[in-house]
């Protein structure tokens, strides 16, 4: 029995269809707009507060984790501890050095499904220092709106945040919690 050779035009058609299928799978990941309804809190030994100025890109679909991605940042100058003197020190050179490093940036490299929820594994950049970080999060979707609730631990010393004369009073590890509402683009 003779095998039929695939014609050049059929071969190109098959390649074209495969490429379309690849690009179509990326197009189905939902893009989310971050609304103003969010909170970013941090808490450690004798220091707690919030950040504002959250911006970035969220591409997330629980059915397509491979193509999902977080690329977000926060403005360092928005730190608020409830104490103006602490805020000034936190923005200063010995802590976050907001003048030279105005953003805290997180970019995910992969998103994994967990028994309950998800985790975004990626790179966290603070003060120009990049370290691997993991944000465990949950996702709730209702219509065109979603809620993301996440948490992570950050060791300030790993990012060169040494503090001033009183740095020994403040712990090294901080719990960071994030709650945000997003709308479908």
Inform me whether the pLDDT recorded for 26 exceeds 60. no
In a domain, 64, yes or no: yes
- 174 forms beta bridges with 154
In a domain, 8, yes or no: no
| Top-confidence residue, 142 or 172 | 142
In a domain, 41, yes or no: yes
pLDDT in the model for residue 28: 83
CATH number at residue 121: 2.40.128.110
Q: Can you give the residue range of the structural domain that contains 146?
A: 30-184
In a domain, 7, yes or no: no
Inform me whether the pLDDT recorded for 159 exceeds 90. yes
For a pLDDT cut of 90, what percent of the chain falls above it?
Answer: 71
Q: What angle do CA 109, 74, 94 make, to 5 degrees?
A: 105
In a domain, 20, yes or no: no
Which of 16-25, 99-108, 149-158 is least confident? 16-25
| C-alpha to C-alpha distance for 127 and 125, rounded to whole angstroms | 7
In a domain, 71, yes or no: yes
Which of 16-25, 37-46, 65-74 is least confident? 16-25
Would you say 39 and 50 are in contact if contact means Cβ atoms under 8 Å apart?
Answer: yes
| C-alpha to C-alpha distance for 40 and 18, rounded to whole angstroms | 42
Domain count, the chain: 1
In a domain, 2, yes or no: no
In a domain, 130, yes or no: yes
| Top-confidence residue, 124 or 21 | 124
CB-based burial label for 182 (10 Å; 0-12, 13-18, 19+): buried
């Amino acid at each position: 029995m003779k095998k039929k050779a695939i014609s050049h035009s059929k071969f190109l058609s098959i390649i074209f269809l495969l490429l379309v299928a690849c690009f179509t799978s990326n197009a189905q990941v939902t893009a989310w707009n971050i609304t103003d309804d969010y909170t970013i809190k941090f808490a450690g030994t004798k220091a707690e507060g919030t950040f504002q100025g959250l911006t970035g890109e969220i591409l997330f679909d629980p059915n397509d984790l491979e193509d999902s991605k977080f690329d977000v940042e926060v403005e360092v100058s928005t730190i608020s501890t409830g104490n103006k003197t602490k805020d000034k020190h936190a923005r200063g050179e010995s802590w976050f050095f907001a003048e030279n490093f105005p953003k805290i940036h997180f970019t995910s490299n992969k998103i994994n499904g967990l028994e309950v929820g998800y985790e975004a594994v990626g790179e966290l950049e603070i003060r120009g220092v990049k370290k691997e970080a993991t944000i465990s999060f949950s996702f709730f979707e209702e219509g065109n709106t979603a809620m993301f609730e996440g948490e992570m631990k950050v060791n300030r010393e790993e990012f060169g945040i040494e503090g001033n004369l009183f740095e020994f009073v403040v712990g090294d590890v901080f719990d960071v919690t994030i709650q945000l509402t997003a709308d479908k683009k």
